[in-house]
Structure 1
Amino acid sequence: MIMLFRNAFLAASKQFVEKDLEVSVAGRSFLITGANSGIGKATAMAIAKRGGTVHMVCRNKDKAEEARADIVKETGNKEVYVHILDLSETKKVWEFAEAFKRKYKALNVLINNAGSIMSQRDVNVEGLEKSFAVNVLGVYILTKSLIPLLEKSADPRVITVSSGGMLVQKLRIGNLQSDRGRYDGTMVYAQHKRQQVVMTEQLAKTHTNIHFSVMHPGWVDTPAVANAMPDFHRSMKDSLRTPEQGADTVVWLAVSEAAAKNPSGRFYQDRKMVSTHLPLAWTHSSPLEEQKLVSLRELGTSLPINTDIKTGLSISSLF
């Protein structure tokens, strides 16, 4: 798990089976969050090249339309659609998912790629810590809301882009809003990535006809890394993976038959299942804590929200 940079990818890629990605996904639809740059755009490009219908979910309309134009020009695939959504506004996430289900008859693959890392604690209009809203609650609401559509579609899959940073974090149910102690944006982000891993494992147990997976892309040269960690980016730029290398396992999980043959709910790096804990790690959590993370009714006792995605979303009463 410590092999995160470009050279490690080049070494791992020698074991890749090329025919795994020599596939057509024409007729299959893919929804990708954060698809206008970095890993998300590279994923959208790769899927469009293989004939898939791509739904780009992005926050910035101008950047999204520019990225769409690039994808269509390079691939010749015009089945690429832009949807504007700020994942930090959880009510709008639910509203978007409900509207998407009404408009489209199928969704084969959901790729939760968008993420947020903050230098200091901030809250959204609903009173939720912003990065938690994007990285965890937004991902959860989008996934849960779209599950009925995925379940009606052929070979449904959900892939979430996590981070190896979660290996240094134990699930903290009691501090999901990061309002206790000093706010360290990097560690908060790592905690959210641990939560994504646990969420994936739990959803896979409940929704057995959907293939769930979560992955670590390695250190990738993306705008997000450059903006969040400028010193690290400057010093390590020549060693970082390209967006295409970072997206490789996402694409493999999304389109290959080989990936679907693996058990659901697992964590991947460079097309291989890997452990979610370091050897002798202290990061294991109790089954009860893990179950609470993915039960909105249970989360009412540990999150400062009152949420029911079946009837709508009402965010209220910060603890």
Structure 2
Amino acid sequence: MLQKKYAIFVFISFIMLYYWKKRIKQGAKYKTKMRLEGKTVLITGGNSGVGKSTAIEFAKLGAKVIIASRNVQKSRKAKMEIIAESGNFDVFAMHLDLENFESITSFVKEFDDQQEYLHYLINNAGAVGVHGLSESGYHRVFVINHLGPFLLTHLLMKKMKKQSLKDPVRIVNVSSNMYIFGKFNLEDIRTDAIGLISEVRRYAQTKLANIYFTRELNKRLQGFNITTYAVHPGSTITTDIWSWSNLPYFLKVPGNHLVRILFLREPIYAAQTILYCSLDDEVTRMSGEYFKDCAREELWEVAKDEAFGETLWEASVAATEKYLTRELI
């Protein structure tokens, strides 16, 4: 009897361990035989974590890869590491500070001058737990995670629309399942967060904004060969998102070794759904949707308010209109 109970315990433990490894620590894996010579990829925050792993995988497939981050020195180092791992020398590093609208406009001008094409835009960079308001008068996390990518995407749209007449273009916005805690009050975006709960909520709001941005983009790009996707990559071990944070060290998730061991993914596994939405042939039928573990996931009701999606879009236009010198989407 004791042996039977022991056997059952071992069997259940094995199943739980298998589930933990495959579903929590790794998640779905995406494989492709596609080659991307002649394709150009722009990845924000591509010098570490998920962004860097995504850049390596694109480079392995032969694409021209541009990583754009605020820390140029770190990006140059990452560029050499991406080249060394992929064997692809067509990798470039550029300066981009998503908190600074002037930096975004300067970046787009330089990008337009240097790059003829843009096939994949990966809005990956983000921040959490940053205090204060930006120069534009909005909460810094909201600017870095939403308004910055919103402006960047708009300013690159002329190039992407032109590109879409010849080759398809995909826009991937890295969100998070934290969006479910992001119920919006638009007044929040002009005030600082006070306390841990408020800071987490502000981050969740920006991840919800990423989803609404993706859905609105899809609606407004009908007639162009441009598709959009919001992605939850899973929590990952190595990421610069915490480098902005003013949270105490023991509250920064990567600093908690137990959490790292039990729940956080290596960046290569977190990159899989980004690659899936960027490269899979079937996914184009699901433009504007939200994805997790290389599959479409049904959104919670908080992310389905069409009227609020339009309101947030208009609020984002109003916040960046000084810099929107090109045709609006």
Structure 2 gaps, min length 5: 1-18
Note closer, same or farther for the CA distance 1:276–1:307 as it changes in structure 2 (3 Å cut): farther
Is the contact made by 2:30 and 2:275 (CA closer than 8 Å) also made in structure 1?
Answer: no
Q: Deviations over 1:169-228 (max 9, x none)?
A: 223333223448767222111110001100110011001221100100111112346655
Q: State how 1:113-132 maps to structure 2 within 5 Å.
A: 113-119=124-130, 121-132=131-142
Q: 2:212 matched to which residue of 1?
A: 198
Is the contact made by 2:26 and 2:266 (CA closer than 8 Å) also made in structure 1?
Answer: no
Letter paired with 2:148: G
- Secondary structure of the corresponding residue to residue 158 of structure 1: strand
CA distance in 2, matches of 1:66, 1:176: 34
Q: 1:293 matched to which residue of 2?
A: 312
Is the contact made by 2:27 and 2:269 (CA closer than 8 Å) also made in structure 1?
Answer: no
User: Shift of the alpha carbon at 1:10?
Assistant: 6.4
Determine if the alignment matches structure 1 residue 39 to structure 2 residue 12. Answer: no
User: Shift of the alpha carbon at 1:58?
Assistant: 1.1
Q: 1:155 matched to which residue of 2?
A: 168
Q: 1:188 matched to which residue of 2?
A: 202
Q: How many residues align?
A: 295
CA distance in 2, matches of 1:17, 1:41: 17
Letter paired with 2:37: A
User: Shift of the alpha carbon at 1:17?
Assistant: 6.5
Is the contact made by 2:101 and 2:323 (CA closer than 8 Å) also made in structure 1?
Answer: no
- Secondary structure of the corresponding residue to residue 295 of structure 1: helix
User: Shift of the alpha carbon at 1:103?
Assistant: 2.8
User: Shift of the alpha carbon at 1:65?
Assistant: 0.8
Note closer, same or farther for the CA distance 1:287–1:17 as it changes in structure 2 (3 Å cut): closer
CA distance in 1, matches of 2:20, 2:46: 22
Q: 2:33 matched to which residue of 1?
A: 22
User: Shift of the alpha carbon at 1:264?
Assistant: 1.1
Is the contact made by 1:94 and 1:309 (CA closer than 8 Å) also made in structure 2?
Answer: no
CA distance in 1, matches of 2:194, 2:83: 47
Letter paired with 2:109: E
- Secondary structure of the corresponding residue to residue 122 of structure 2: strand
Note closer, same or farther for the CA distance 1:112–1:61 as it changes in structure 2 (3 Å cut): same
Note closer, same or farther for the CA distance 1:286–1:254 as it changes in structure 2 (3 Å cut): closer
Larger CA deviation: 110-119 vs 38-47: 110-119
Note closer, same or farther for the CA distance 1:287–1:307 as it changes in structure 2 (3 Å cut): farther
Q: 1:96 matched to which residue of 2?
A: 107
CA distance in 2, matches of 1:181, 1:77: 46
> TM-score with structure 1 length normalisation?
0.84
Q: 1:316 matched to which residue of 2?
A: none
- Secondary structure of the corresponding residue to residue 186 of structure 1: helix
What is the RMSD of the two structures over their aligned residues, measured on CA atoms? 2.5
Q: State how 1:30-69 maps to structure 2 within 5 Å.
A: 30-69=41-80
Structure 1 gaps, min length 5: 313-319
> TM-score with structure 2 length normalisation?
0.82
Question: Of 65, 80, 91, which aligns to 2:91?
Answer: 80
Identity fraction in percent: 25
User: Shift of the alpha carbon at 1:8?
Assistant: 1.1
User: Shift of the alpha carbon at 1:152?
Assistant: 1.9
Determine if the alignment matches structure 1 residue 244 to structure 2 residue 244. Answer: no
Question: Of 143, 148, 151, which aligns to 1:133?
Answer: 143
